Structure 1
């Protein structure tokens, strides 16, 4: 290829350049699943479509790509996220921790404590303020309050269920 070889090919096939960017962003979206990279991919695809219609006008391709990316981020992404979050059965990753088992890593009272659940250490408090959970005791996550886990000692729960 001569001096103009690569640049000449890119100028004539800018749609392919935009397409590779769009595919790369869409593939990377599979790792994040927050729809941001997908919206940027839509912008790159729009830049590619513009390159097909106006092959030598780089500035227009860039402006269209940026405008579509901003528009989709501002309008489409919030709408799609709201639909996903309001879908029946949706649970965020934080909400999915409810019902999990863990171990107290520090004493847990009605106001303060620490547990290890699913390999992560969390702030915690006891569901029942009159119950203190000792370090090393098994717990179950009853609920969430912000990012503090509301827990109950498994031994106490088993005893209550056995008494019925």
Structure 2
């Protein structure tokens, strides 16, 4: 005679909820947290109240779907509201300082950015005259080339002291 395995279904609900929580800790997107909550409330809850196995599955799926489409968007919005947009990768290069490493010929040369990367560069407006070691600022990134402008140095004022 085979044992009735539905009496041990509560163990399966606990294991499934634990598995969803572990996956959620790895992904951090609130998806598996909603599935774990639906599993605990719908599946395990109906099991403990004496519901049949198909009702347990139905309630777990319904509660999980309800949480996924109602609570998860609210949690994500609250999470992302407090974080400021930080430029990454190539977008972060705009405005960074650099130093000329090879002289510019016909507006083209090379610069070493302040983050340590060496890039081919094009002088905005073309022309020559930037010597090695001159400070420039990245204005834009065009493919594998940065467009640079000479760093504006504040005009130095000379003050003469009035001696009598």
Counterpart of 2:72 in structure 1 is 77
Q: Root-mean-square deviation (CA), in Å?
A: 3.8
Q: Residue 86 and residue 54 in structure 1: after superposition, are their counterparts in 2 closer, same or farther (change >3 A)?
A: same
Give runs of ≥4 in structure 1 deviating > 2 Å: 89-92, 95-101, 128-131, 140-143, 148-154
Counterpart of 2:112 in structure 1 is none
Q: Where does the alignment leave 5 or more consecutive residues of structure 1 unmatched?
A: 102-125, 132-139
Give the distance between the partners of 1:149 and 1:58, measured in 2 at CA: 60
Counterpart of 2:151 in structure 1 is 160
Contact map agreement 1:141 1:152 (CA 8 A) in 2: no
Partner of residue 60 from structure 2, selected from 61, 65, 68? 65
- State the SS of the aligned residue for 1:13: helix
Relative to its length, the structure with more helix (as a share) is 1
Q: Residue 43 and residue 129 in structure 1: after superposition, are their counterparts in 2 closer, same or farther (change >3 A)?
A: farther
TM-score (norm 1): 0.54
TM-score (norm 2): 0.54
Contact map agreement 1:141 1:149 (CA 8 A) in 2: no
Q: Where does the alignment leave 5 or more consecutive residues of structure 2 unmatched?
A: 97-120, 127-136, 155-164
Larger Rg: 2
Give the distance between the partners of 1:75 and 1:153, measured in 2 at CA: 45
